[in-house]
């Protein structure tokens, strides 16, 4: 197991820790290497947690999740296009989307199974799948098609060991969303080949362009789809560790059994605060979405005139992919140079898979003015790297 969980999920953050250490020692470092919102949790949610604590919510809670929270999650899920009959019995509350993904994988995958995943993919997927003894079957995406998966490639990967397709929409790191048409084709694949569809939808409340589609609402899909989400990003609640899975009732029973031997339920007062987040904080959510949209636009605008780097405009989320292929450096080498010489930290695309090797990922987690400053440093770094690589490649006279 230790080997199977030791990949990029564990090591991708090293550059982030280096950047934090340098910032702590007083250096002017702009940290864009992690998706942790810079905003604090909205006060109404904090107040709900405090008042719940004061009223004695300090005991074990229902292991599947407190019924009012599961009902609130089911309503939230239906309001985002989820299956119209999804109710509290279809929800399991877990410690963040990460824990929900891990628990779902443990309950669905067996050793030898294959799980089809487009790549680039969020850094933990590999370890989550491998921890069960299953194997990820990566489907490389192309920057030339904006990292959009092609359904025929997913289809071609299906074989006798295939157990599930794992998709992340809106996507980290690319910020792309699957269209209604793509979901319909993917749903047909799952039905025809008897596959589970696992959807990581943590950025579904942060869509700028377009609408979120929830494939469990498509015919014949609610019995084979698990939708995973959390409050971490949408409500600036990464540290609260509150997420969930929505899926068939029988699967929920297995998740509860796993939660019984792993967590014994999520903290009661945090669940009460989560109800407040889902029911009473729509304005906070709008502000959050607008803030990321403005920041995205600030990066696009600042880098628009660059002749070295290009941006891939995200339709959602809090990240942005920057194409650094023209610098002649690998993304790892470029990210190191950007931090060491220009004081900006970003993740190298390779952390998400080989297909993103020519890209770095910026997190939109500092105010727009600071992002513009980061982009200017990034552009200077790219120009210098390109000039150095060209010099190195020049034939000797």
Residues at the site binding ligand PMP, with contacts judged by CB under 6 A: 35, 96-98, 122, 168, 172, 200, 202, 230, 232-233, 238, 243
User: Judged by CB, which is closer to ligand GLN: 34, or 356?
Assistant: 34
Contact in structure between 348 and 33 (CB atoms under 8 Å): no
User: Judged by CB, which is closer to ligand PMP: 166, or 385?
Assistant: 166
Burial class (CB in 10 A: 0-12, 13-18, 19+), 77: buried
Strands (DSSP E) contained in the chain are 30-31, 91-94, 114-119, 135-140, 162-168, 196-200, 225-230, 243-246, 310-312, 319-323, 344-345, 347-348, 359-363
In whole angstroms, the minimum distance from the beta carbon of 288 to ligand PMP comes to 14
User: Judged by CB, which is closer to ligand PMP: 196, or 244?
Assistant: 244
Using CA atoms, how far apart are residues 257 and 259, in angstroms rounded to an integer?
A: 5
- What are the DSSP calls for 271-312, one per residue? HHHHHHHHHH-HHHHHHHHHHHHHHHHHHHHHHTT-SS-EEE
In whole angstroms, the minimum distance from the beta carbon of 239 to ligand PMP comes to 9
CB-facing half-sphere around the CA of 258: CA atoms within 13 A? 20
In whole angstroms, the minimum distance from the beta carbon of 172 to ligand GLN comes to 5
Max CA pair span of the chain: 81
* CB count in 10 Å sphere of residue 173: 29
Q: Let me know the angle formed at the C-alpha of 224 by 218 and 66, rounded to the nearest 5 degrees.
A: 100
In whole angstroms, the minimum distance from the beta carbon of 292 to ligand GLN comes to 14
User: Judged by CB, which is closer to ligand PMP: 232, or 365?
Assistant: 232
Site residues for ligand GLN, 135-174, by CB under 6 A, read 172
178: nearest Cα among 235, 125, 118: 118
Q: According to CB under 6 A, which one of 34, 69, 308, 378 is a site residue for ligand GLN?
A: 34
Site residues for ligand GLN, 273-292, by CB under 6 A, read none
Q: Give yes or no for residue 99 binding ligand GLN (CB under 6 A).
A: no
In whole angstroms, the minimum distance from the beta carbon of 61 to ligand GLN comes to 25
For residue 281, which phi and psi values (nearest 5 degrees)? -120, 35
User: Judged by CB, which is closer to ligand PMP: 188, or 262?
Assistant: 262
Q: According to CB under 6 A, which one of 8, 29, 35, 66 is a site residue for ligand GLN?
A: 35
Given ligand PMP, ligand GLN, none, residue 34, with its beta carbon under 5 to 8 Å by kind, binds ligand GLN
Site residues for ligand GLN, 167-206, by CB under 6 A, read 172
User: Judged by CB, which is closer to ligand PMP: 316, or 381?
Assistant: 316
In whole angstroms, the minimum distance from the beta carbon of 16 to ligand GLN comes to 8
In whole angstroms, the minimum distance from the beta carbon of 162 to ligand PMP comes to 22
In whole angstroms, the minimum distance from the beta carbon of 233 to ligand PMP comes to 6
The pair of three-digit structure tokens given for residue 180, joined into one six-digit string: 């209604």
Using CA atoms, how far apart are residues 356 and 336, in angstroms rounded to an integer?
A: 16
In whole angstroms, the minimum distance from the beta carbon of 296 to ligand GLN comes to 16
User: Judged by CB, which is closer to ligand PMP: 130, or 168?
Assistant: 168
The pair of three-digit structure tokens given for residue 343, joined into one six-digit string: 């004081």
CB-based closest residue to ligand GLN: 35
Given ligand PMP, ligand GLN, none, residue 200, with its beta carbon under 5 to 8 Å by kind, binds ligand PMP
Strands 30-31 and 344-345: what pairing? parallel
Using CA atoms, how far apart are residues 380 and 344, in angstroms rounded to an integer?
A: 12
User: Judged by CB, which is closer to ligand PMP: 82, or 120?
Assistant: 120
User: Judged by CB, which is closer to ligand PMP: 173, or 343?
Assistant: 173
Using CA atoms, how far apart are residues 292 and 362, in angstroms rounded to an integer?
A: 12
The pair of three-digit structure tokens given for residue 9, joined into one six-digit string: 């999920």
Binding site for ligand GLN (CB under 6 A): 34-35, 172
């Amino acid at each position: 197991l230790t080997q199977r969980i030791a990949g990029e999920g564990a090591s991708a953050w090293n550059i982030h820790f280096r950047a934090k250490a340098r910032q702590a020692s007083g250096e002017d470092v702009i940290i864009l290497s992690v998706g942790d919102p810079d905003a604090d949790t909205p006060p109404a949610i904090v107040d709900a947690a405090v008042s719940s604590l004061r009223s004695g919510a300090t005991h074990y809670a229902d292991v599947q999740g407190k019924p009012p929270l599961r009902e609130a999650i089911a309503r939230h899920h239906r309001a985002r296009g989820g299956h119209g009959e999804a109710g509290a019995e279809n929800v399991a509350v877990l410690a963040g989307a990460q824990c929900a993904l891990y628990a779902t994988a443990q309950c669905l995958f067996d050793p030898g199974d294959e799980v089809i995943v487009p790549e680039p993919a969020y850094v933990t997927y590999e370890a989550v799948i491998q921890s069960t003894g299953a194997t990820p079957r990566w489907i490389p995406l192309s920057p030339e098609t904006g990292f959009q998966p092609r359904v025929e490639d997913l289809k071609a990967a299906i074989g006798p060991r295939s157990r599930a397709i794992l998709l992340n929409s809106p996507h980290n790191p690319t910020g792309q969303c699957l269209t209604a048409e793509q979901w319909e084709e993917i749903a047909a694949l799952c039905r025809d080949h008897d596959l589970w569809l696992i959807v990581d939808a943590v950025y579904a409340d942060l869509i700028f362009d377009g609408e979120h589609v929830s494939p469990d609402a498509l015919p014949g899909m609610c019995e084979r789809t698990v939708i995973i989400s959390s409050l971490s990003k949408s409500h600036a609640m990464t540290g609260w560790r509150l997420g969930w899975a929505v899926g068939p009732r029988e699967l929920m029973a297995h998740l509860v059994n796993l939660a019984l031997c792993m967590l014994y339920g999520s903290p009661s007062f945090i669940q009460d605060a989560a109800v407040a987040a889902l029911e009473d904080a729509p304005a906070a959510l709008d502000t959050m979405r607008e803030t990321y949209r403005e920041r995205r636009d600030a990066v696009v605008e600042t880098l628009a005139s660059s002749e070295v780097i290009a941006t891939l405009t995200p339709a959602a989320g809090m990240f942005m992919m920057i194409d650094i292929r023209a610098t002649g450096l690998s993304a790892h080498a470029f990210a190191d140079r950007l931090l060491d010489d220009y004081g900006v930290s970003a993740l190298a695309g390779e952390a998400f898979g080989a297909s993103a090797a020519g890209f770095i990922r910026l997190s939109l987690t500092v105010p727009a003015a600071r992002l513009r400053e980061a982009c200017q440093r990034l552009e200077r770094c790219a120009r210098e790297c390109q000039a150095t690589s060209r010099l190195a490649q020049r034939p000797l006279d």
